[in-house]
Structure 1
Amino acid sequence: MRVILPAGTTETALIDGISAAGASPDLMEHTPSADVEILAYGKPTMAPVTPVSPNGCPTPAAVTRAVREVIDFDVSVVDAGLAQPTGAPTVGLGVEPGADIRNTVAVPDAQAIFDRAHAYGASLPDDELLVGETVPGGTTTALGVLTALGEPAGVSSSLPKNPIERKRQVVDEALTASGGSAGSFDGRPIEAIHAVGDPVQATVAGIAAGALESGIDVTLAGGTQMVAVATVLRHAGVDAPLSIATTSFVDREQGDRLGEACYRLNCALTVTDPGFDAREHVSMARYCAGVAKEGVAMGGALSLVPDDRMEAVLDRFEAVCGRLGIEDEDDGNGSGNGNADDPANSSPEDDRAP
């Protein structure tokens, strides 16, 4: 099994009130670069930050890394618009960071990105792929694309209280700036990304489309951001069998909406509960409290774990947290690492993402 992880950035993440990806914009743009280093090496190497929220919740990259240390899988990181360099090896497709979706154009070369990613996906030798993502601001851009395509729009958040009304306001402003409206991009999914999306969406959709057309089984590893990608694929006429694998944290927040979206898109849905509530580690408690929820292929990676090895994954997750400097108990201030200046994980959910 290979995990493909497109990683990128969008200036949409810098909009006040929508992202938990970091208090400082200068640090936030390093989050995807750090995520892929954690997945590749178990800790940041070149990135100057560890993506951990001020209340002690580590990036989902730590969970995905823990799974990798238990069951092992191949990883290919795709530079899908990184704003900062990473020490992890990457596949370069010539992708630039995305603009604020409130600009006239969010992803100027969306079609070219999709085409290059399609060629890459079609060239892969694998029988099965998990395709994840890491991009701060990703649930807001997901909402933008879903709204532009006229699909029922509900997205998750890495915050316990989802700032959905703020996201909708941003999307309304974005559609106005691009000369569109809700549903006006129906049947034109790449144009929707061009107008109000992000470069990671174009990359994930292109890789998935190319792989599916080559007969490779594809699972989109993530939550509501991957619902947006699946919607792009269906609007693009890709009707091959497709799966989405996410966490119980996203499923709990979304209720029936997630299953209904997957049914509408003819996507199989796998939801995995990692059993964090059985442990007392501060990081697991933060996930159970609704922080982060998903991202960096977390749900897809967890879906690969046999039931009798999940305890080993939890043990490794605690070890990875220790490596990242996160203590195993709360310090009384809600912080597991005592550094309130570290960027919150983005999750692609946080907005970064589900």
Structure 2
Amino acid sequence: MRVLLPAGTTETALIDGISAAGAAPELMEHTPSADVEILAYGEPVAAPVTPVSPNGCPTPAAVTRAVQEVVGFDLAAIDAGLARSTAAPTVDLGVEPGNDIREDAAVPDANAVFDRAYDYGTSLPDDELLIGETVPGGTTTALGVLTALGEPTGVSSSLPENPIERKRRVVDEGLAASGLEPGDCEGAPLEAVEAVGDPVQPTVAGIAAGALAAETDVTLAGGTQMVAVAALLRHADVDAGLSIATTSFVADERGDDLAAACERFNCELTVTDPGFDERDHVAMARYRAGEAKEGVAMGGALSLVPDADGRMREVRDRLEAVCARLGIESEGDGRNDEQVDDGTATEDTRGS
């Protein structure tokens, strides 16, 4: 199994109150670069920050890295519009950072990005791919694309209280700046991305379309951002089988709406509960409180963990070790399930 992580940025994320993907707006553009380094090396190497929300919730990259250390998977990171360089190896598809969707063109080269990503997707030798994403502000651009396509427009949020009305106002302004009304881009998915999307969307959609054309099994690893990608693919007349794998945190917030969206776009849905209610570690507590919920292929990675033999417990053990490596310590030491010694877990995983 190969996990692909397109990583990019959009100036939409800098709009006040849109995203929790970083403790401060001026640090947010470092988040995708740091996420890639955490997956590649277990901790940031060149990125000057560890992505943490204002309330201390670590990036989902910590969870995905914990899964990688337990079950193992191959990783390929794709530069899908990074604003800041990363020390991790990346595939360069010539993608530029995205503009604020309230400008007249959010992703001016959406068609060219899709085409290059498609060629990359057809070239991959794998039988199965799991494609994630990291792009602050991505639920707002997902809302923008879905609205432009005329699709139902519920999206989740990295914040405990979803600022959906604020996002809708931003999307309305973005559509107006591009001279569009909701639904005007039906059947023209890349026009929707160009107007109110982000550069990660055509990258993921292009890779997925190319891989599906090569008869590779594709799972989109994420929540409502991947529903938007599925919508783009279906509006591009890509009708091959497609799966979406996300977390119970997204499913709990979206309820029946998520299942309905997957049914609408003919996607098999997998929801995984990582069992964070079994621990009192601050990181898991913040996820239970509704922060972050998904991202950096978290839901897809968790779906790779076998149910048997306590493997998800191992993931929780390893997540505590990853958090310690990132400088995030638990606020309590009470545990509700059996686990290995913290020091041993940290020693075994450091640098791996």
Q: What range describes the TM-score normalised by the shorter chain of this pair?
A: over 0.9
State the SS of the aligned residue for 1:75: strand
**What is aligned with 1:9?**
9
Map of 1:53 onto structure 2: 53
8 Å Cα contact 2:5/2:133 also seen in 1: yes
Q: Secondary structure at the match of 2:211?
A: helix
Alpha-carbon deviation of 1:25? Answer: 3.1
Any unmatched runs of 5+ in structure 2? 334-352
The Cα offsets for residues 124-156 of structure 1, whole Å up to 9 and x where unpaired, read as 000000000000010000000000000000100
Aligned twin of 2:317: 315
Query: How far apart are residue 16 of structure 1 and its match?
Result: 1.2
Q: Deviations over 1:264-287 (max 9, x none)?
A: 110000000000001111110110
1:340 maps to none
Q: Does 1:220 align with 2:220?
A: yes
Per the alignment, do residues 330 and 164 of structure 1 end up closer, same or farther by CA in structure 2, a change over 3 Å counting? farther
One-letter code aligned to 2:314: A
Partner Cα separation in structure 2 for residue 273 and residue 43 of structure 1: 24
AA at the equivalent of 1:131? I
Aligned-partner Cα distance in 2 for 1:200–1:217 = 20
Question: For 1:44 and 1:151, how far apart are their aligned partners in 2?
Answer: 38
1:233 corresponds to 2:242: no
Q: What is the DSSP-based 3-state SS (H/G/I as helix, E as strand, rest coil) of the residue aligned with 2:191?
A: helix
* Aligned residue number for residue 347 of structure 1: none
Q: Which piece of structure 1 moves more, 303-312 or 213-222?
A: 303-312
Secondary structure of the residue aligned to 2:126 is: coil
Deviation at 1:245, TM superposition (A): 0.1
Does the 8 Å CA contact 2:10/2:137 hold for their aligned counterparts? yes
- 1:109-258 alignment to 2 at 5 Å? 109-258=109-258
| In structure 1, C-alpha distance between the alignment counterparts of 2:325 and 2:138, rounded to whole Å | 27
> Which amino acid letter does the alignment assign opposite residue 315 of structure 2?
V
Shift of 1:53: 1.6
TM-superposed CA distance for 1:56, in Å, is 1.9
The equivalent of 2:96 in structure 1 is 96
Q: Shift in Å at residue 301 of structure 1?
A: 0.2
Question: Which secondary structure does the structure 2 equivalent of 1:228 belong to?
Answer: helix
Q: Indicate the residue corresponding to 2:338 in structure 1.
A: none
Asked whether the equivalents of residues 158 and 293 of structure 2 are also in contact (C-alpha less than 8 Å), the reply is yes
Deviation at 1:24, TM superposition (A): 3.3
Tell me the alpha carbon deviations over residues 17-43 of structure 1, each in whole angstroms, 9 at most, x when there is no partner.
Answer: 211123533311000000000001100
Q: Which residue is 2:278 aligned to?
A: 278
**Corresponding residue for residue 262 of structure 1:** 262
Q: 2:195 aligns to what SS in structure 1?
A: helix
1:151 is matched by which residue type in structure 2? E
Does the residue aligned with 2:219 lie in a helix, a strand or coil? strand
Corresponding position of 2:36:
36
Unmatched 5+ stretches in structure 1: 332-354
**Change in 2 beyond 3 A, CA 1:135/1:61:** same
Aligned length: 331
Amino acid of the structure 2 residue aligned with 1:81: G
Equivalent residue number for residue 345 of structure 2: none
Q: State the shift of 1:158 in Å.
A: 0.8
Aligned counterparts of 2:261 and 2:197: Cα–Cα separation in 1: 19
Aligned to 2:113, the other structure's residue is in SS state helix
1:243 match: secondary structure? strand
Deviation at 1:330, TM superposition (A): 6.2
Q: Aligned to 1:261, what secondary structure does the other structure show?
A: helix
Taking only aligned residues, the RMSD between alpha carbons, in angstroms, comes to 1.0
Please list the CA deviations of residues 107-129 of structure 1 after superposition, one character each: whole Å capped at 9, or x if unmatched: 01000000000000000000000
Matched-pair contact (CA < 8 Å) for 2:23–2:52 = no
The secondary structure found in structure 2 opposite 1:5 is strand
User: Match for residue 331 of structure 2?
Assistant: 329
Shift of 1:226: 0.1
Rounded to whole Å, the distance in 2 between the matches of 1:55 and 1:101 is 27
Q: Distance in 1 between matches of 2:53 and 2:268?
A: 32
The residue type equivalent to 1:83 in the other structure is A
Counterpart AA for 1:318: E
